[in-house]
């Protein structure tokens, strides 16, 4: 059972002043966001949770967001540390939805990873440090729905209520391990996270599309465009219009009549009836299109490693495994496999320039000499 924490729910900007003043005056605050990516075509910030050392607030931008510029000023103030857990998504969403950046971040998920923990989700950390158990039943809630129930608000408040003491506990461990600056560098880089460009639907983003023939990809491309239009008009995620599996099935066995569409299993009959004629039209357009218009991925020929490069990669992997054991860190956190392979392909004469250009400062401190030794062996 999750404990109740005191909080103030602010859904009227006339009552937001004390919260904004306290947040702006603090040296350090905790924050989190709730969004509606599972329920809307274009996700948006639906709720803001914020905490100081002794107060918790839930600020509602959907009922009244005149307070938001004041909160944005706090997020962008480099003199106020912002503590968050798994802040990558929140930072991208703020930039995409509100055009707001976040300065001076301390991410407790990153910090927990650098202490060597393998369980670094917020629920696991709150249970470990504070004996608090977070309920999972609200994880897929529709945060754009109003009014919000007391249960949902209480659940939301827990997301920031313990972040500041959690930050202090993790920071002490990092200091003992000598990894404070490692996390600081990762958090500085995190501030630069950018939302993915919105280029519309693409067959190359669809899981399973690579096994389709070019003609089938042409059908899938038209169907994705149709689904995206309905999703945008109805303001719902594309997968809640038609499943990707349904579209792939149609691409492989194109329905050429309204009756064929209506026989499709796994989709609502009312929805199929509404879309059937357009589905058939999209299929007909795709099948009549000339082959030179079908989707084709630009070729990127695979260049196998030479025998010498294979030897380098094996030595680099052994080095990483040994260091990961010594430091008690996940090997992929230390340096990922793709980077190791790129490094194995680098001409040894260019190694120094490559290390300076591609490794973070903390990685150079920990890995550079080990990499040099592995490449010379």
Contact criterion met (CB below 8 Å) for 58 and 47: yes
- Rounded Cα gap, residues 147 and 266, in angstroms: 32
**In the structure encoding, which two tokens stand for residue 368, read together?**
């550079």
CATH fold of the domain at 8-190:
Nucleotidyltransferase; domain 5 (3.30.420)
* Model confidence pLDDT, tens digit, residues 322-336: 999 999 999 999 999
- Rounded Cα gap, residues 286 and 217, in angstroms: 9
Summary mean pLDDT of the chain: 95
**What is the CATH number assigned to the segment(s) 307-376?**
1.10.150
**In the structure encoding, which two tokens stand for residue 222, read together?**
């038209």
Contact criterion met (CB below 8 Å) for 284 and 226: no
* pLDDT the model gives residue 107: 98
**Would you call 35 helix, strand, or coil by DSSP?**
strand
* Model confidence pLDDT, tens digit, residues 210-247: 899 999 999 999 999 999 999 999 999 999 999 999 99
Cis peptide before 147 (omega within 30 of 0): yes
- Indicate if the pLDDT at residue 1 is higher than 70: no
What is the domain partition of the chain in residue ranges? 8-190, 203-293, 307-376
* Model confidence pLDDT, tens digit, residues 174-192: 999 999 999 999 999 999 9
Q: Do domains 203-293 and 307-376 have the same CATH topology?
A: yes
- Indicate if the pLDDT at residue 44 is higher than 80: yes
* Model confidence pLDDT, tens digit, residues 79-125: 999 999 999 999 999 999 999 999 999 999 999 999 999 999 999 99
| Look-up of token digits 């500041």 | 164
pLDDT band at 9 (very low <50, low <70, confident <90, very high): very high
* pLDDT the model gives residue 136: 78
* Model confidence pLDDT, tens digit, residues 123-144: 999 999 999 988 877 888 999 9
**In the structure encoding, which two tokens stand for residue 150, read together?**
């007391």
pLDDT band at 198 (very low <50, low <70, confident <90, very high): confident
Percent of the chain with pLDDT over 90: 88
Does the pTM surpass 0.75? The reply is: yes
* pLDDT the model gives residue 349: 84
CATH superfamily of 203-293: HRDC domain (1.10.150.80)
Q: Say if strands 28-35 and 56-59 run parallel, antiparallel, or are unpaired.
A: unpaired
Q: Tell me what the mean pLDDT of segment 251-276 comes to.
A: 94
Highest-confidence segment of 138-152, 314-328, 336-350: 314-328
C-alpha angle 36-41-44 in degrees, rounded to nearest 5: 40
pLDDT band at 2 (very low <50, low <70, confident <90, very high): low
**In the structure encoding, which two tokens stand for residue 105, read together?**
């971040």
Q: Tell me what the mean pLDDT of segment 340-357 comes to.
A: 91
- Indicate if the pLDDT at residue 348 is higher than 90: no
Contact criterion met (CB below 8 Å) for 133 and 123: yes
- Indicate if the pLDDT at residue 70 is higher than 60: yes
| Look-up of token digits 């380098």 | 312
């Amino acid at each position: 059972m999750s404990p109740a924490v005191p909080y103030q729910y602010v859904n009227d900007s006339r009552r937001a002043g004390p919260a904004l003043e306290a947040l702006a005056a603090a040296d350090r605050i905790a924050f989190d966001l709730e969004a509606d990516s599972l329920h809307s075509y274009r996700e948006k910030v639906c709720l803001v949770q914020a905490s100081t050392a002794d107060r918790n607030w839930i600020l509602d931008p959907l009922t009244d967001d005149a307070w938001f510029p004041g909160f944005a000023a706090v997020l962008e103030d480099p003199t106020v540390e912002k503590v968050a857990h798994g802040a990558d998504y929140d930072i991208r969403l703020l930039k995409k939805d509100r055009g707001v950046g976040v300065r001076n971040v301390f991410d407790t998920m990153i910090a927990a990873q650098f202490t060597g923990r393998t369980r670094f989700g917020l629920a696991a950390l709150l249970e470990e440090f504070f004996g608090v158990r977070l309920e999972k039943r609200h994880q897929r809630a529709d945060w754009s729905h109003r009014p919000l129930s007391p249960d949902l608000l209480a659940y939301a408040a827990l997301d920031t209520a313990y972040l500041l003491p959690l930050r202090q506990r993790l920071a002490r461990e990092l200091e003992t391990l000598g990894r404070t600056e490692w996390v600081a560098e990762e958090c500085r880089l995190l501030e630069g996270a950018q939302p993915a460009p919105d280029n519309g639907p693409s067959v190359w983003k669809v899981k399973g599309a690579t096994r389709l023939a070019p003609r089938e990809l042409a059908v899938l491309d038209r169907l994705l465009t149709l689904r995206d239009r309905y999703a945008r008009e109805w303001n719902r995620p594309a997968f809640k219009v038609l499943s990707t599996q349904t579209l792939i099935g149609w691409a492989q066995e194109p329905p050429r009549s309204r009756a064929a569409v209506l026989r499709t299993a796994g989709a609502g009959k009312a929805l199929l009836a509404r879309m059937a004629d357009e589905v058939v039209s999209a299929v007909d357009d795709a099948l009549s299109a000339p082959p030179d218009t079908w989707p084709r991925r630009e070729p990127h020929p695979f260049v196998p490693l030479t025998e010498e490069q294979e030897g380098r990669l094996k030595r680099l992997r052994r080095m990483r495994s040994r260091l990961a054991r010594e430091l008690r860190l996940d090997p992929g956190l230390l340096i990922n496999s793709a980077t190791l392979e790129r490094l194995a392909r680098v001409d040894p004469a260019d190694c120094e320039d490559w290390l300076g250009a591609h490794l973070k400062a903390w990685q150079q401190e920990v890995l550079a000499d080990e990499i040099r030794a592995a490449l010379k062996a």
